[in-house]
Each structure stands twice: as structure tokens, then as C-alpha cells.
Amino acid sequence: MALSKPTDFMYKLVGAYLERLYTNPLRTKAITSCILSSLANILSQKLSGAKRINKDNIIAFALFGLLIGGPVPHYFYMYINLFVKNPLGIFLIERLIYMPCFQALTLYTLALFEGKSHKEACKQTEKLYLPMVISNLRYLTLWQFLNIKYVPPMLRVLVVNCIAFTWVIYFANKRTNIPKKKA
């Protein structure tokens, strides 16, 4: 009996998540993205050897996850499934159109959320955009294909957020190393 308690807890947790995903998908995806982005940023800072956690950076990633990282993919996957039924077509649109645009939006809004001016945000976006898109295509293409091909549409944003967890760690380290290279 005692061994079944963790399993029961996990079933209840997954059940509650799926229920909220069904009843309020946008809010659920936004909050999930907020939490995963924040945790990934904290882990990234720890892995990079930061002596103090940069709370402004965590807040920037949390805001990004809440306002953009959850809602934008939610609407993308919702509408793309209305217009394109073939998984290969969805995959190509995601990789060739959506991902480069979303990457630019990500870089720019994170810089703004960190308190940078429009000019500074544009400069940082310009510097990081191409390396990030190339890395995204190199490392995440297979995962995105598997997500689009085999994951039910309702759960795609969750899987994207789980993939993004590791991507945010890479991404945050890449962004953090900009000032170090100048010095």
C-alpha cells in the first residue's frame, strides 16, 4: 500500500494538469511555460557558476514564459492544425517560418523584459539571432519532428515547453556570455 502512494500522487497530478489543459488551455500553457522558463534559467545560472542568482533575469524569463512562451505556441499549433493536416507540412512551416520569427521575438522581448532600451534590445537580437537559429535548427529539428508527428495536438505545447527547458539553459548561457566576450 505504501508503495502505491507516489504513483497515486503522480496520477492525480497528471489528471489535474490534463483537466486544466482541457478546461483552460491558454492559462495552463502560459503558467507551465512560466514555471519551466524560470526553472531553466535558475539551473542555467547555477551551471554557469554564478555566485549570486540574478533575480531580474529570472523575472524576465518568467514574464516571457507567461506572456509569450505559452500563448504564442498555443495559438500557432491551434491555427496551424486548422489549415495544414499533413505533419510534414506543419513541421516545415514550424521550422522555416515560425521558429525563426519566434526566435527573434524571444531575443527581443527578453532583452526588453531585462530593462534594456529598444536600441540595446535590437543590437543584442541582431548579435545573437543567426547563431541561435542555426543552433535551434541543428539541435531541435529532430525533437520538433517527433513532437509534431507523434504527440497529440493538445499536448504539443507541453512537449515544446519540455524541449524548451533544455533550450532555455543553452539559450540563457549563450546570452550571458555576450558581456564576457567583450571584456
Q: What does the pLDDT look like over 59-107, one tens digit per residue?
A: 999 999 999 999 999 999 999 989 999 999 999 999 999 999 999 999 9
Give the pLDDT of residue 156.
Answer: 84
Cell of 71: 500563448
Cell of 106: 524571444
Residue showing cell 524548451:
164
Give the pLDDT of residue 92.
Answer: 97
Give the pLDDT of residue 62.
Answer: 96
The list of the chain residues with pLDDT below 70 reads 1-5, 175-183
Give the pLDDT of residue 158.
Answer: 80
pTM given for the model: 0.84
CA-wise closest residue to 80 among 68, 96, 67: 96
Give the pLDDT of residue 182.
Answer: 47
